Amino acid sequence: MSLLKAENIHKRYGKEEVLRGVSLELERGETMVVIGPSGTGKSTFLRCINQLTPPDKGRVWLDGVEVTHPKCNINRLRAQMGFVFQDFNLFSHLNTLRNVSIGLIKVKGIRKEDARKLAMKELERVGLDDKIDAYPAQLSGGQQQRVSIARALAMEPKLILFDEPTSALDPELIGEVLEVMIKLAKDGMTMLVVTHEMGFARAVADEIVFMEHGVVVEQGNPQQMFSAPEHPRTGEFLNKITELYGETE
């Protein structure tokens, strides 16, 4: 049974149908990268998975439990899914340590002391254990994003959703975040990543999905997608992107 399954997701904003029947399946330990032109609904799709944006049609299952079911405990399910935002969205009034530990304390009911320890562990993992007292406004973009990854990790989720995690960063800071993400992927975390970073996709993706105009155009493993894509649009897009963003390792 796949860890994450999305079936026929539709979402409309006013007159525009942003998602027109997207279906995906993600296996445990798999890293799936979603690429495509901006505005094609990739971010919306991610938010449909954890119901931050409820889809108009379609269903989602996490480890066999239907997320889209009206009677499900959405909070509990969300606690099992990590979400990393493009704008980091760290809690501005809390320092780094509290940002990472608050979910543990309030959502999972873990004792303050134990939560602190767990939070410290994750902050070490992303390389920011020396910044525990800093407030988000005092951190660089790259640091903030790494804290937000630690915040997601601390909840011990079954998978992590990444919504263009590096798009809001200055070029020099992108590397430190990608490094953390690559390490996560290699450590076996299940990840669904929306991004423009082709180098990352090439390096760790188990599967690449190309979305355009609200539908999945093509998907396959990186080799196949980059060297011999079936659909002409896929090839066009990949070429353009690689030109623009270059190759990063």
Partner 1 sequence: MVFDVTWLPQLTQGLLLTLQITTTCIAMGIVLGILLALGRVYGNRLISTPCSIYIQIFRGTPLLVQLLMVYYGLPSWGIYPSAFVSGVLALGLNTGAYQAEYLRGAIQAVKQGQLMAARAIGMSLPQAIRYIVLPQAFRIVIPSWSNELILMVKYSSIVFSVTLLDLMGVGKRIAARNFRYFEVFVVVALFYLVLVFIISQLLRLLEHRARIPGLGEHAEQR
Q: Does 38 bind partner 1 (CB under 8 A)?
A: no
CB-CB contact of 42 with 34 (8 Å): yes
Q: Which of 69, 76, 186, 240 contacts partner 1 by CB under 8 A?
A: 76
Q: Does 58 bind partner 1 (CB under 8 A)?
A: no
Q: Does 141 bind partner 1 (CB under 8 A)?
A: yes
Q: Does 155 bind partner 1 (CB under 8 A)?
A: yes
Q: Which of these segments, 123-131, 144-152, 193-201, 228-236, binds partner 1 (CB under 8 A)?
A: 144-152
- Kindly report each contact of residues 188-191 with a partner whose C-beta sits within 8 Å and lies 24 or more positions away, as own/partner: 188/29, 189/29, 189/31, 189/159, 189/160, 190/3, 190/4, 190/26, 190/27, 190/28, 190/29, 190/30, 190/31, 190/158, 190/159, 190/160, 191/30, 191/31, 191/32, 191/159, 191/160, 191/161, 191/162
Q: Which of 78, 116, 125, 202 contacts partner 1 by CB under 8 A?
A: 78
Q: Which of 168, 182, 215, 241 contacts partner 1 by CB under 8 A?
A: 168
| Beta-bridge mates of residue 65 | 62
DSSP 171: H
3-state secondary structure (DSSP) of residue 10: strand
Q: Does 85 bind partner 1 (CB under 8 A)?
A: yes
Q: How far is the CB of 231 from partner 1 (least distance, A)?
A: 33
Q: How far is the CB of 92 from partner 1 (least distance, A)?
A: 6
Q: What is d(CA 95, CA 220) in angstroms, rounded to the nearest whole number?
A: 41
Q: What is d(CA 76, CA 18) in angstroms, rounded to the nearest whole number?
A: 28
Q: How far is the CB of 137 from partner 1 (least distance, A)?
A: 3
The size of the interface with partner 1 (CB under 8 A), counted in residues, is 36
Q: Does 15 bind partner 1 (CB under 8 A)?
A: no
Q: Does 50 bind partner 1 (CB under 8 A)?
A: yes
Q: Does 106 bind partner 1 (CB under 8 A)?
A: yes
